[in-house]
């Protein structure tokens, strides 16, 4: 059954493989650190990385062009150690040249391909708010290292 941006089957996200925890879908788990960011400015500095890691693991939310933009921006920002303001500046520049970023196909009709990741939003949620900065940094490293 669809839940915002993800589909859960047998207690797992059919795209990233994250488990349903405490009755929360993959997308609902993602909402927790988004709230935590409001309690901690240092955590909020990682907003780009939190959102990018999650979205890279859910490519059905994007057009092919939009997904390529996200992945390339993530790789460039990671590999060149860009600060957040520069990432956002580059994103604004690139978005102007992308026709359509988000997938307009209804959630239940999107094609999805499962990929196994060593870390997902499940790990961020289970680590809790106190460990969120450390875990998002680990997640960022894992996503970059697992990306061909």
In a domain, 100, yes or no: yes
In a domain, 17, yes or no: no
In a domain, 84, yes or no: yes
* pLDDT digit string, tens, across residues 95-120: 777 777 887 778 778 888 888 899 99
d(CA 63, CA 68): 9
- The reported pTM is 0.90
Res 2 pLDDT > 50: no
> Can you spell out the DSSP letters for the chain?
-EETTEEEETTEETTT-PBPBTTB-HHHHHHHHHHHGGG-HHHHTTHHHHHHHHHHT-GGGB-HHHHHHHHHHHHHHHHTT--HHHHHHHHHHHHTT-S--B--S-GGG--------S--HHHHHHH-GGGHHHHHHHHHHHHHHH--
* pLDDT digit string, tens, across residues 71-83: 999 999 999 999 9
The domain containing residue 38 runs over which residues?
32-104+114-146
Give how many domains the chain has, as a whole number: 1
In a domain, 96, yes or no: yes
Nearest CA among 11, 90, 6 for reference residue 48:
90
Share above pLDDT 90 across residues of the chain, in percent, rounded to a whole number: 65
């Amino acid at each position: 059954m669809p839940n915002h941006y993800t589909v859960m089957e047998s207690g797992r996200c059919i795209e990233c493989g994250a488990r349903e925890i405490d009755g929360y879908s993959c997308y609902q788990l993602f909402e927790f650190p988004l709230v935590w960011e409001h309690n901690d400015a240092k955590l909020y500095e990682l907003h780009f990385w939190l959102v990018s890691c999650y979205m890279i693991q859910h490519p059905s939310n994007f057009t092919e062009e939009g997904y390529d933009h996200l992945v390339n921006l993530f790789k460039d920002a990671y590999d060149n150690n860009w600060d957040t303001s520069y990432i956002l500046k580059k994103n604004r520049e690139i978005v102007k040249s992308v026709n359509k970023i988000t997938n307009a196909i209804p959630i239940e009709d999107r094609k999805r391909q499962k990929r196994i990741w060593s870390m997902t939003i499940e790990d961020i949620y289970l680590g809790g708010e106190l460990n969120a900065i450390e875990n998002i940094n680990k997640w960022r490293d894992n996503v970059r290292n697992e990306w061909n």
